[in-house]
Amino acid sequence: MTLTSDSPAPAALQKPRDVQLLAIAPDTLVLRSRSWNRLRFEIEYGLERGTTANSYLIRGDRLALIDPPGSSFTESFLNTLQQQTDLSQLDYIILGHVNANRLETLKVLLGQVPQVPLVCSNPAAIALRAAFEQPLNIQVMRGAPDEQLNLGQGHQLRFVPVPTPRWPDGLWTYDPYSQVLYTDKFFGAHVCDELVYDLGWEALLEDRRYYFDCLMAPSARQVATALEKLADLPKVYLYATGHGPLVLHGLSELTQLYRQRSQQQQAQTLSVALIYASAYGNTATISQAIARGITKAGVSVESINAESAETEEIRAAVERAAGFLIGSPTLGGHAPTQIQTALGTILSTATKTQLAGVFGSFGWSGEAIDLLESKLKDAGYSFGFEPIRVKFKPTDVTLKYCEEAGTDFAQALKKARRSKAPRMPASAVEQAIGRLVGSFCIVTAKHGEVASAMLASWVAQATFTPPGFTVAVAKERAIEALMYPGNPFVLNILAEGQHLGPMKHFLKPFGPGEDRFAGVETEIAENGCPWLKDAIAYLECEVSSRMECGDHWVVYATVTSGEVLQQNAKTAVHHRKSGTHY
């Protein structure tokens, strides 16, 4: 499947970007570069609540800048920075990670202060030397106890390498004087508002969990290793994050959330090895979307960056996995050497019973993806989805397709395992639960260019004032990504004796990206979502909240408007004999 992404979807009305400045600790400032609009078409921005890119200034006898923002904020950030200090006074620039986006701002900075030392991990140093033509003044920090940076006036910084597949150059910075840990990608959230610090734990739980599930879940093993390193630090008073509010009030709860989510991922009995390389970040973004779909379906992902992984790490991951995926950019008509090496390792390790998948991005040609596909087909592997080829930068629609492909891949693995297990009769409890009944409904939703629908029968009125109800949505449902607080949807209630047609249509399996409304008569409601002409009634709704309940989300929605289409028809009711399935 080739997906072309020549241009992004039209942007919403833009609020001006700005930089918020505040003292957060002795001699320490945060510069919060803010955007209320989504910056890039990447899956972790899916809640579309804006973002902040947090940078920090520590002024002792010497001045250090931590984590300059990406290119979206270069101009506004530098203007604010220059109001605070003469750039020639900068003694150090500390980098929690390096990517193409951050390099743009870094190049402007180094154009004015070319000899300022860059403090970073060894993988970051390698990336920096490859990105710049001129010699750089780089100080590599490997995390040794005696490896510190003395800024004076008590600020003697320590460094903790925290590599993950997406950011193999990850580096935390700890200031024992202020007890602030600068965590870069860890413990963040993509939220933009006036609040510098978190207010309580529950307020940002959904955003932080979403951020973790998108960015950290595929690296659960490395995340767990990073969390162990917290024990080696003295007291931490504040997590100074790279994105979103700084973590002051919910520090212990957020740390525990990361531990629990990491443990849950590693405890899954089925896993997928996801091996990739990424030249400009596009293939990495695709891999992230696929991984999100897999983990939603209750299968863990072991993400491996072939550019930094050892052959034995790839071999061990493939041996542990029930399936594997390999993704590559196309560079000069070829796959990178690291991917070709990884492919050889896979071919010599994976069994023919393991499900395979191929994906990648390209600019003008896609030979690398063709190579991977042909080699695996010739070796006799079965594919869990059609190879994904993304031209240029992935869009929202592309990423939704990739997420659905990942979910289908995971469900295929689970189906294969179930087919090998002996079938057991339903227990008395399961039979009793099956006697609970619900009305047959179709949930329809649309957000931007992405639309989806599902058959639902676990629906119940929950409140009189405001009028509201709950609906259970399985975690692996494609529509789940469209049902976050604030999002609109429509609940279409089916009529008894007329429900079989819509039921069969929306019950059938849909392929990734397939139009769920093809051949179905619909109208667009006032909230922008489709409603079905075959419904007995429909309700226009807005998600108010949602609660994680085992393998489902229970969504509480309030009704904004509705209409009865067939006054005399009765609601179709779903009767079951077992509580083990719908």
We report the CATH number of the domain holding residue 313 as 3.40.50.360
Domain membership of residue 563 (yes or no) is yes
Residue with tokens 């580096």: 171
Domain annotation covers residue 4: no
- Within 46-119, where are the H helices? 74-84, 100-112
92, 64 Cβ separation under 8 angstroms: yes
Do 373 and 453 share a domain, yes or no?
no
- Domain of 170, CATH number, reads 3.60.15.10
Q: Is 48 left (phi over 0), alpha (psi -120 to 50) or beta?
A: left
Q: Cα–Cα distance between 552 and 472 in angstroms, integer?
A: 6
Of 49-58, 390-399, 519-528, the poorest mean pLDDT is in: 390-399
**CA pair distance 233, 223, nearest whole angstrom:** 16
What's the pLDDT score for residue 4? 60
pLDDT recorded at residue 8: 39
pLDDT at 398: 93
What the block records as the tokens of 207 is 């955003």
Report pLDDT digits (tens) over 98-124: 998 899 999 999 999 999 999 999 999
| pLDDT surpasses 70 at 11 | no
Is residue 582 included in any domain, yes or no?
A: no
pLDDT of residue 411: 95
- Verify that 405 and 441 share a domain, yes or no: no
Whether residue 410 is found in the same domain as residue 505:
no
User: What pLDDT shows up at residue 419?
Assistant: 85
For the chain, the helix, strand and coil percentages under 3-state DSSP, each to the nearest 5: 30, 30, 40
Reduce the secondary structure of 185-200 to three states and give it as a string.
CCCCCCCCCCCCECCC
Tokens of 454: 């599902």
* Residue 468 included in any domain: yes
Percent of the chain's residues with pLDDT above 90: 86
CB atoms < 10 A from the CB of 132, how many? 16
Q: What is the mean pLDDT of residues 439-452?
A: 94
In sequence order, the 6+-apart residues with CB closer than 8 A to the CB of 427 are none
Q: Are residues 376 and 293 in the same domain?
A: yes
- Does residue 475 carry a pLDDT above 60? yes
Spatial distance between the Cα atoms of 397 and 446, rounded to a whole number of angstroms: 12
Q: Are 109 and 242 found together in one domain?
A: yes
Q: Of 71, 40, 52, 479, whose CA–CA distance to 285 is shortest?
A: 40
- 3-state SS, one letter per residue, for 354-416: CEEEEEEEECCCCHHHHHHHHHHHHCCCCECCCCEEEEECCCHHHHHHHHHHHHHHHHHHHHH
Predicted confidence at residue 214, as pLDDT, reads 94
For residue 11, tell me if it sits in a domain. Answer: no
DSSP state of 165: S
Digit-coded pLDDT (tens) for 181-236: 999 999 999 999 899 999 877 889 999 999 999 999 999 999 999 999 999 999 99
Kindly state the tokens that stand for 87.
Answer: 């750039």
Does 7 fall in a domain?
no
Q: Say what the pLDDT of residue 407 is.
A: 96
Query: How high does pLDDT run on average in the chain?
Result: 93
Q: Is the peptide bond before 488 cis (omega within 30 degrees of 0)?
A: no
Helix axes 311-320, 337-349, angle to 10 degrees: 40
Which among 385, 420, 455 is the end of a domain? Answer: 420
Band of pLDDT at residue 12, cut at 50, 70 and 90: very low
> 395 and 513: one domain?
no
Nearest alpha carbon to residue 498 among 453, 443, 535, 532: 535
In this predicted structure, the answer to whether residue 40 has a pLDDT above a threshold of 80 is: no
* Residue 533's pLDDT band (cuts 50, 70, 90): very high
For residues 439 and 523, membership in a common domain is answered with yes
d(CA 560, CA 530): 15
Domain identity same for 85 and 186 = yes
The pTM of the full predicted model, rounded to 2 decimals, is 0.91
| Spatial separation of the C-alpha atoms in residues 20 and 113, rounded to whole Å | 24
Determine the structural domain holding residue 554 and report its residue range: 428-574
Do 156 and 38 fall into the same domain? yes
Q: Containing H/E element for 243?
A: none
Which residue, of 420, 437, 457, is where some domain finishes? Answer: 420
- Tell me, what's the pLDDT at 84? 92
Task: Determine the average pLDDT of the residues in 251-271.
Answer: 95
156 and 184 part of one domain: yes
Predicted local confidence at residue 279, as pLDDT: 84
**Final residue before a domain boundary, out of 400, 420, 440:** 420
At 7 the pLDDT is 38
The per-residue pLDDT for 473 is: 97
Same domain, 152 and 205: yes
566 assigned to some structural domain: yes
- Give the CATH number for residue 482: 2.30.110.10
Same domain, 78 and 166: yes
pLDDT higher than 60, residue 10: no
CA 314 to chain centre: 23
Whether residue 324 is predicted with pLDDT greater than 80 in this model: the reply is yes
Residue 52 pLDDT exceeds 80: yes
Please give the tally of structural domains in the chain: 3
Residue 232 lies in a domain: yes
Distance of CA 208 to the CA centre of its chain: 11
pLDDT of 41 strictly over 80: no
Contacts 24+ apart (CB under 8 A), 553-556: 553/472, 553/473, 553/475, 553/480, 553/483, 554/470, 554/471, 554/472, 554/473, 555/470, 555/471, 555/472, 555/473, 555/483, 556/462, 556/468, 556/469, 556/470
Nearest to 373 by CA among 320, 413, 325: 325
